[in-house]
Amino acid sequence: MTETTGERLPPVPAVVAAEQFAREGEVAVGTPPPEIPGRKGRLRRLIVYAILFCVALLFFIPFFWDVTTSLKTLPETAGFHLWPKHPSFKAYDNALTTFNFKRYFANSFFIATVVTLMNLFLSSLGGYAFARLRFPGREVLFFFVLATLMIPNELRLVPVFQMLTDMPLVHWHLIGTYQSYFIINLVGAANLFLMRQYFLTIPKDYEEAAKLDGAGYFKTYWRVMLPLAGPALAAVTILTFQGTWNDFFWPLIVFLGNEDIFTLPLGILKFKSEFNTQWPELMAASVIAILPITILYVFFQRYFVAGVTAAGVKG
Amino acid sequence: MAAIAKRQRGKTLESEGLKEALVGFGFIALPIVSFLIFFIYPLGYAAYISFFDWGPLGRVANVGLGNYREAYHDFLFHKALKNTLLYTAVVVPSQMALGLTLAVTVNQALRFRTFFRAAFYFPAVAGSIAITAVATYILASDGLLNSAVGAIRGTPYTHSWFGESSTALWSIMGLNIWTTSGTMMLFYLASLQSIPTEVYEAAAIDGARTWRTFWRITFPLLKPGHFFVAVVSVIGSLQVFDQAFFVSGGGGGPNYSTMTIVLYLYNTAITGTRFGYAAAIGIILFAIIFTLTFVQRMLFGRAEVA
């Protein structure tokens, strides 16, 4: 355990990853053990590669089927065709316009963007305070933040639903509005944890220099600390955007009854319940939901890995 | 001069400390308030109303332990509990075994390590609903899986995997083992990271074979990893909801075979507006999660925060 944590956190994967991420800006996850030379080495390696490729293929088939079906016409889905005879984007066109997925896409994008921005700001500001500023009760409050990770969503369902139906004191009715989702997702405890761990590893010299220049706390945070926390901010961005984009549980509850603000998962559910076996359109809708995250994943893989291992307590 | 300067600095240092504390509180104020309102208060509120018959208009009657007693006798709650526990008992060991196998394999000095790691983690990146939609097609009576089974058997096969009560829950298990094992792999990889390479070198010098090295050295040293993965996996499994909701349209069918605790809770609260009873179910689930986490902690003997 390095000194940088400032406390005795056990070497569980999340903590190991958070620390390594903070030190190296990346989580390599796994140093290969040294090769043990042997006569059967070559054959064994070949078998390992073969198995790995087969498993990777098995992991890949559903997505392949998803994409090819979305390019088919409904009659063509009846038989078994690996690739459509006349690939067409008709199903996408239908899904986006007739079945409103353009709207759902825009909603998902809007909600995920707002929630990500709020999380970026509040988790980095709070993480900076927890890592650097001295105030009474700091450790207790940080432990309190981590403890909220223990409280399951379902337990919160009834109270949160009731609060959003009729907010005590102010009597806001927020069910069926964007705001309801924003207000319950201001900032995630896992993001705060990740940002704090990251800030702890940044040498204090930078801030001292800023302080000598007469910079205040917020300016130090904004001008000095944030630019140094790039990788952690990237991980928070990816993690939050993906989590919000894919979220089903809370949108299902708080967007109740207002189809105009449905996100992609809710749109897919609605489509499935109304047009049970319109497979090409359903597959097109699921590709529309999966593709943006896939693109993010391809380009920012290391932040995905870092974020999930360091802070991802989402089962 | 010097004395005055020193005194002034002492004074500023003191007010500086106060300022720092105030700014610190200010920076964490919004998160703390939001956690209080949307996490801590709901915990207390749910515990409180679980002792009442509580409807959309508020308190109807004080029923004491009535809601808990009802859960004890409720056929559907039993069914949901049984399904969820069976699901957990199957999914957790499978996810752990698969996650560990993938991690140890990818952890070797292979070519394309990054590619394999990325490929195995990919299903976890895609959203649960989008991927369940794909699964409903693959497992449909005229789906890809049945085409494959039919081709092997030589006769057409038209079993509806999500449509028959005998296979619906098992299909969800298979789906989630597949999608989440990549996440477990990442946790195990991070855990493998904390094993110093010298340990392996020593084993190699002693002439220990790969298999033995794994069982004698790697596996026991991964203890914190096992604990973490087990806890995350158990908590996630006990809360299974999205997939069950999607394949059954929210009803937990066919024949309540996909009714899980959270799905039942959702139906009780949102469809049935029986908030008191739903809160009681939430408290029971929380108690189960808490107990199982505690039991695992005893088993693995390790304190844990995150």
Q: Which residues of B touch A43 (CB under 8 A)?
A: none
Q: How is chain B split into domains, by residue range? A: 2-49, 70-300
Residue with tokens 């980095």: A124
- The CATH number of the domain holding residue A176 is 1.10.3720.10
Domain that holds residue A162: 10-26+99-311
- Under the banding of pLDDT at 50, 70 and 90, the label for residue A6 is very low
Q: What is the pLDDT of residue A7?
A: 41
B70-300: what fold?
MetI-like fold (1.10.3720)
- pLDDT attached to residue A231: 87
d(CA A190, CA A232): 12
Under the banding of pLDDT at 50, 70 and 90, the label for residue B8 is: low
pLDDT given at position A9: 47
Give the pair of three-digit tokens for residue A120: 């970026």
Q: Give B143→chain A minimum CA distance, Å.
A: 9
Lowest mean pLDDT among A145-159, B9-23, B72-86: B9-23
Task: Report yes or no on whether pTM surpasses 0.90.
Answer: no
Q: How confident is the model at residue A5 (pLDDT cuts 50, 70, 90)?
A: very low
Instruction: Say if the Cβ atoms of B127 and A27 lie within 8 Å.
Output: no
Number of Cβ pairs closer than 8 Å across A and B? 344
Partner-chain contact A158 B229, CB within 8 Å: no
Question: Rounded distance, CA A315 to CA A312, Å?
Answer: 8
Average pLDDT of the residues in A155-163: 92
Q: Is residue A126 part of a domain?
A: yes
Q: A160 touching B, CB under 8 A?
A: yes
- Confidence (pLDDT) at A1: 30
Q: Which amino acid is at B288?
A: I
Max mean pLDDT among A23-37, A298-312, B232-246 falls in B232-246
Tens-digit pLDDT profile for residues A76-124: 777 677 788 888 888 898 888 889 999 999 999 999 999 999 999 999 9
Chain A residues within an 8 Å CB radius of B284: none
Residue with structure tokens 């967007």?
A255
What does the H/E/C string look like for chain A? CCHHHCCCCCCCHHHHHHHHHHHHCCCCCCCCCCCCCCCCHHHHHHHHHHHHHHHHHHHHHHHHHHHHHHCCCCHHHCCCCCCCCCCCCHHHHHHHHHCCHHHHHHHHHHHHHHHHHHHHHHHHHHHHHHHHCCCCCHHHHHHHHHHHHHCCHHHHHHHHHHHHHCCCCCCCCCCCCHHHHHHHCCCCHHHHHHHHHHHHCCCCHHHHHHHHCCCCHHHHHHHHHHHHCHHHHHHHHHHHHHHHHHCCHHHHHHCCCCHHHCCHHHHHHHHHHHCCCCHHHHHHHHHHHHHHHHHHHHHCHHHHHHHHHHHCCCC
Mind spelling out the 3-state secondary structure of A69-115?
Answer: HHCCCCHHHCCCCCCCCCCCCHHHHHHHHHCCHHHHHHHHHHHHHHH
- Judged by DSSP in three states, B211 sits in helix
Q: Which of B31, B129, B224 sits opposite A122 (nearest CB)?
A: B31
Structural domains counted in chain A: 1
Q: Please indicate, yes or no, if residue A21 is contained in any of the structural domains.
A: yes
Q: What is the mean pLDDT of residues A195-212?
A: 87
A241 occurs within a structural domain: yes
* Structure tokens belonging to residue A231: 């990788």
Residue of A nearest to B200 (CA): A33
In percent, the amount of chain B with pLDDT more than 90 equals 50
As a three-state string, the secondary structure of B10-38 is: HHHHHHHHHHHHHHHHHHHHHHHHHHHHH
Per-residue pLDDT band for B304 (boundaries 50, 70, 90) equals very low
